[in-house]
Amino acid sequence: MKTLNVREARKSMTNLEKLLEKEGEVTITRRGEPIARLSPVGRKKRIPTHRALRESITRQEVQSETLVREDRDGRG
C-alpha cells in the first residue's frame, strides 16, 4: 500500500491507473492524517453469450404453459 500526501496525489493523477496496478491500494493523507483510500474496482465481468445464458438455465420438468393451464383450470 502506498501513501501519498495531497500534493503528490495531484501530481500523480495522470499515472493513477499504473500506480493502482503496481501498489494495489493508495492512501492519501493531509498533514499526516489519512483522508482517502483509493483501490481498484476489479475486473469487469464478461457479458455472457446468448448460448452460455441458455445453457446455464436449468430446464423445468413441466413446461410453463402446462402450469399456467392447470392454474387457470383450477380457478374455475
The tens digit of pLDDT for each residue in 28-67 reads 999 999 999 998 887 777 888 999 999 998 888 999 999 9
User: pTM for the whole thing?
Assistant: 0.52
- Whether the CB-CB separation of 28 and 38 falls below 8 Å is answered with yes
The residue extents of the domains of the chain are: 2-40+49-75
Look at residue 72 and tell me whether its pLDDT is greater than 90. Answer: yes
Q: What is the pLDDT of residue 45?
A: 77
* pLDDT for the residue numbered 70: 92
Give the integer Cα–Cα distance in Å for 5 and 69.
68
What pLDDT is attached to residue 3? 92
CA distance linking residue 47 with residue 38, whole number of Å: 26
Give the residues across from 26 on adjacent strands: 2, 38
Report whether CATH 3.40.1620.10 matches the domain 2-40+49-75.
yes
